[in-house]
Structure 1
Amino acid sequence: MTYRNVVSAVVRALAAETINSAGGCDFEPKIQCAKQKGEIVGKEAAFLQDCWVFGRLHKGLSPVHWRALVAKFSTHTDRKHASITELTKLLQSPAPERFRHCAIVTWALPKLPGVEGKRSTNVLPAAWYCMDSWSDEPHPIKTQERWRREIRKALEQSVDSALVEAQHILEGEGLLMSEAA
């Protein structure tokens, strides 16, 4: 199986750990069952490859790049929140720590369309998206907007560079479709 692009590979790999009910990339029971029937094909083969890509990216990317991808694309709530916490500690900004944390959380869990964001189980209450509650001390709105913009720009740059590195890893393994002219 080859992936259409690096984003689909990353999304599938990060989603693989939440596919089974026990959590984690616990592919061994499914693969053992598939082996008993013969060759591993279909969904089991795709799942095995997604788990392998997860491990390969986790090992091959720098911790900062890995955390950025997990915060942006993961569906595993605990890992996503752990990555957000680590990014809050690492990200340099003149903004207070609470503001940085809230800015990163709202970047990683953007407000979704629908009635109060109820189209997804992984959304925040509406109050989280109000910047005035992100700091104990009052700051001008322009300053808050600048801080948020700079934080999001740094996060997006980190995701972009992580995707470039992930693309190099996946191309080296021959897992990305080549562009047909």
Structure 2
Amino acid sequence: MGLYKDVMGTLVRVLAADNIDNSTKQSWQKLIDAELRSGGQGAGIAVRDKFDYDCCLYALLHRELAPAQWDVLVAKYSTHKANKVGAISRLVARTTSPAPQLFIFKALTAWAIPKLKGAQSGKRSTDMIVLPAEFYDINTWDTEARPDSTRGRWRLGIHKFLAVLEESAVIHVTEILDREQLFDEVT
């Protein structure tokens, strides 16, 4: 019997493993725990054992993925603030673009931390990174006020680079999960 259902759900769960403690449960953790107790995915495994598997898989992915692949996944999907910020800063250094460093930093950060509805009004969890609305204004990304077409081209190039990197990382994660036989067989 496999431990996980799909790649993206597994990836998000595993990247959240470093942000979980035993004090209070986040709402998504309670849902997973309830699913396990009710006979859902991985029901034959104790919650603590599943967490241990998540931690082992976290270490395996960190070891086997290329550093840029690991960073793009952590930047996009991790819930650990410090890890997310660290991954973003390492990706900035790895991103090749004619854009100035400030532009690259802001474009990459806006990609990794998209604007969320309800975040500024207090309707979302406060345990996540929420950037001020003006951070997403592309006019603030370039101090030399280059034309919109130039800034748009730069942003598109950076986002394409990140999308290709993310896709290659997810493919590699899928190969690892398949190799380790961690998915339920589809009937």
Tell me if both proteins adopt one fold, taking TM over 0.5 as the criterion: yes
Shift of 1:177: 2.6
After superposition, the C-alpha distances for 1:83-138 in whole angstroms (9 at most, x for unaligned) are 10110011111111110000000001000112636424321001100011112211
- Asked if the contact 1:15–1:76 (Cα under 8 Å) also holds between the matched residues in 2, the reply is yes
Runs ≥4 in structure 1, deviation > 2 angstroms?
115-118, 177-180
Aligned to 2:170: 163
Greater Cα shift, 12-21 or 164-173: 12-21
Distance 1:67 1:158, change over 3 A: same
The aligned amino acid for 1:178 is E
Residue correspondence of structure 1 range 1-181 to structure 2 within 5 A? 1-20=2-21, 41-114=45-118, 116=120, 118=122, 119-121=124-126, 122-180=129-187
Shift of 1:77: 0.6
**CA deviation after TM superposition for structure 1 residue 176, in Å:** 1.8
The number of equivalent residue pairs is 163
Residue identity opposite 1:56 in structure 2: L
Q: Give the TM-score, by structure 1 length.
A: 0.84
Question: Which amino acid in 1 is paired with 2:46?
Answer: G
Q: Cα gap change, 1:62/1:117 in structure 2, threshold over 3 Å: closer, same or farther?
A: farther
Contact conserved, 1:71 with 1:84, CA < 8 A, in 2?
A: yes
CA distance 1:129–1:21, shift in 2 (3 Å)? farther
Maintained 8 Å contact 2:72/2:166? yes
Q: Which runs of 5+ in 2 are unaligned?
A: 24-43
Separation of aligned partners in 2, 1:19 and 1:138: 43
Please state whether the residue corresponding to 1:52 is helix, strand or coil: helix
Maintained 8 Å contact 2:119/2:130: no
> Equivalents in 1 of 2:105, 2:133: separation in Å?
16
User: How much has 1:73 moved relative to structure 2?
Assistant: 0.3
Q: Is the 8 A contact 1:117 1:123 kept in 2?
A: no
Provide the rounded CA distance (Å) in 1 between the counterparts of 2:22 and 2:78. 16
How far has the Cα of 1:149 moved from its partner?
1.2
Counterpart CA distance in 2 for 1:78 and 1:21 is 19
Cα deviation per residue 1:124-160 (whole Å; 9 max; x = unaligned)? 0011000111122111111111111111111011111
C-alpha separation in 2, matches of 1:9 and 1:164: 13
- Name the SS of the counterpart of 2:48 in structure 1: helix
Structure 1 vs Structure 2: percent identity of aligned residues? 38
- Offset of 1:170 from its aligned partner? 0.8
Q: Which amino acid aligns with 1:86?
A: R
